[in-house]
Structure 1
Amino acid sequence: MNNAQAHAFTLDEIAQRLGARLVGDGSRRVSGLATLSDAGPEDITFLANRAYLKHLAGTRAAAVLLHPSHVDDCPTACLTLDNPYLGYAELSTLFDPLAARDAPGVHPSAVVAEGVSLGQEVQIGPQAVIEAGVRLGDRVIIGPGSVVGADAQIGEHSRLHANVTVCHGVVIGKRAILHSGCVIGGDGFGFAHDGGRWHKIAQLGGVILGDDVEVGSCSSIDRGALGDTVIGNDVKIDSQVQIAHNVQIGDHSALAGCVGIAGSTRVGKHCMLGGGVGLSGHLSLCDGVQVTGMSLVTNSIHQPGVYSSGTGAMGNAQWRKNAVRFKQLDDIAKRLIRLEKEQRSR
């Protein structure tokens, strides 16, 4: 990856930023971040997983961020931290091209309604639409083609990438990141059936996103039917996730790609849902629940821990045999109970 940047940093500056211990020449400058195997003499790299230790000896990087236990194995300057992966996360922000903001201001092609409240150093990109009653905090960035609906509020330092839709009345906290194509506050899936056809139920609630929330591309968070859909602080939502009306997600939880959560379900704090997990409606997951990928949760979970469902992939011939046996489980269980009773009666 080419990380050529307008800014370069000395190793002393990086060590101070990360709170790391530097072993080597602190005046050496680096201008990019790369993997152990791809890094060149102007790059800094990192080692956070022992699986990549085999690449350390041959790295051409100017410096390596790593755990203190690997200092003796490092052929170049190093910065040590007890949690090098967390250090890498902080380091990555130094070389993020998006960190170099364009000049604040409203692009001439943007449409901004009268009376909109704009904080200091707000940036509104081409073809963006900001409707009446919107309030944007300081240093908010609205990307090209994004739409912010009437009376919505977006907290300071938040960023909407291109073509994001924030619907009317939605409240977004500070430092939010919304990626392209996501829709916050669209109508929930609410209909009444009269026996012959469906009748739409107006969705009168809203959506509230806490501080430091990130929502991936093409994800949808529906507005509440009456009350609000609520996403807590520091919640991380991957791409192509569907969150239905009146769902509540607790602080510091994370949802991987293609998770689907049905209406009025509550997810606790510090929960993690793997890719493709489905939660049925009107359930509760307590704090500290982890659900592994492709699992279907149909009942509430009241104890923290790791939960799974489904079966792993196998050859089709074996799967067909097992599928037949799945249908026989009830009969097998009844026969086993009967045999156990007969055994005890002897």
Structure 2
Amino acid sequence: MTYPDSPTFTLGELAERLDAHLVGDAGRRVSGLATLRDAGPAQVAFLANRAYLKDLPGTRAAAVLLSPELGEECPVDRLELANPYLAYAALSRLFDPLASRAPAGIHPSAVVAKSARLGERVEVGPQAVIEAGVTLGDDVVIGPGCVVGADSGIGAGSRLHANVTICHGVMIGERAILHSGCVIGGDGFGFAHDGAGWHKIAQLGGVVLGDDVEVGSCSSIDRGALGDTVIGNGVKIDSQVQIAHNVQIGDHSALAGCVGIAGSTRVGKHCMLGGGVGLSGHLTLCDGVQVTGMSLVTNSILEPGVYSSGTGAMKNAQWRKNAVRFKQLDDLAKRLARLEKSGRGG
């Protein structure tokens, strides 16, 4: 897509930034990105998945990011490199209109406590609230309607989109991106039962987010009951994810939409949890674990690898038969054990 105020670059400039091999006109100017199918003569497209190779012959793009082995099939100028998708990610940031926008300062309708400490070039949007004791680093952007609770800190270059809630005592690292509707530092789900009703346990810990963390819209990261909930550097969290109190997530792990993690579970570094994955409480996942979508994990995983649970979709009639057989598995296993024992005895 191309925005009205998008910056323009020559293909030669892009090749230098990406350390790519340019085949074509170095002076040709481009002003945006698009798919192979939709790109026009002022846009760059990319080919990272061979499933879209069929769209390459008919592309109208100014140039295409692709791997060298596909270069001869490209009908337009091209930027050749080993990882076209990574190059696309880099170009997307160059053409991002938010990245090039000048800070708008403090909006007159924002409420900023006198004891808050704001760095250079900070932007605070309309109706935002910055409570007492807050520290905002340089180049922080606080979107409209956000609330940053007392004694919280947000590192340099971080951005809160509209209507983000940061509760008290939350520490966020540098270059974090928090999308609309997410809540960081709400109370964890802690209650004691006396046989007749529930009694709330005050949640006395906080939340610590590392550098380069991204949290999707309407996700929740609960504060710790005593210690902190800790999200490591470079962690990427999708929309509508629930992370309970005292969870720890290691550096550069990624959680897809609707993941739910119960309290005090520890996820290692470089883990990937697919959409809808559920982790029970007080578990440990070691570094390098991948859990496929809609899986339920009820025991610790101590060896890296790919793990799955559940069954794929099937016709209801077949599923009902299989569900009945599943209930019979324990009995069948006991019968088989008796038969094996009987066979050994004979």
Give TM class, smaller chain: over 0.9
Counterparts of 2:171 and 2:89 in 1: how far apart (Å)?
27
Compute the TM-score of the two structures, normalised by the length of structure 2: 0.98
Q: Deviations over 1:60-106 (max 9, x none)?
A: 00000000101100111100110111111101111112112243410
Q: Which runs of 5+ in 1 are unaligned?
A: none
Counterparts of 2:160 and 2:132 in 1: how far apart (Å)?
18
Compute the TM-score of the two structures, normalised by the length of structure 1: 0.98
Counterparts of 1:299 and 1:327 in 2: how far apart (Å)?
21
Matched, 1:26 2:26: yes
Q: Deviations over 1:23-65 (max 9, x none)?
A: 1100000111000000011110000001111111110000000
1:66 maps to amino acid: L
- Partner in structure 2 of residue 166 of structure 1: 166
Counterparts of 1:68 and 1:341 in 2: how far apart (Å)?
62
Q: Deviations over 1:209-262 (max 9, x none)?
A: 000000000000000000000000000000000000000000000000000000
User: Shift of residue 2 of structure 1?
Assistant: 4.6
Counterparts of 2:83 and 2:53 in 1: how far apart (Å)?
15
Does the CA contact (< 8 Å) of 2:295 and 2:309 recur in 1?
yes
Counterparts of 1:337 and 1:195 in 2: how far apart (Å)?
42
- Partner in structure 1 of residue 131 of structure 2: 131
Does the CA contact (< 8 Å) of 1:188 and 1:224 recur in 2?
yes
Matches within 5 A, 1:1-346: 1-346=1-346
**SS at structure 2 position matched to 1:22:** strand
**SS at structure 1 position matched to 2:133:** coil
Does the CA contact (< 8 Å) of 1:4 and 1:31 recur in 2?
no
Does the CA contact (< 8 Å) of 1:4 and 1:32 recur in 2?
no
Q: Which runs of 5+ in 2 are unaligned?
A: none
User: Shift of residue 17 of structure 1?
Assistant: 1.1
Counterparts of 1:42 and 1:20 in 2: how far apart (Å)?
19
Aligned residues: 346
Counterparts of 2:70 and 2:5 in 1: how far apart (Å)?
29
2:144 maps to amino acid: P
1:259 maps to amino acid: V
Identity within the alignment, %: 79
1:118 maps to amino acid: L
Counterparts of 1:201 and 1:139 in 2: how far apart (Å)?
37
Counterparts of 1:75 and 1:44 in 2: how far apart (Å)?
13
Does the CA contact (< 8 Å) of 1:5 and 1:95 recur in 2?
no
Does the CA contact (< 8 Å) of 1:167 and 1:184 recur in 2?
yes
RMSD of the alignment, in Å? 1.0
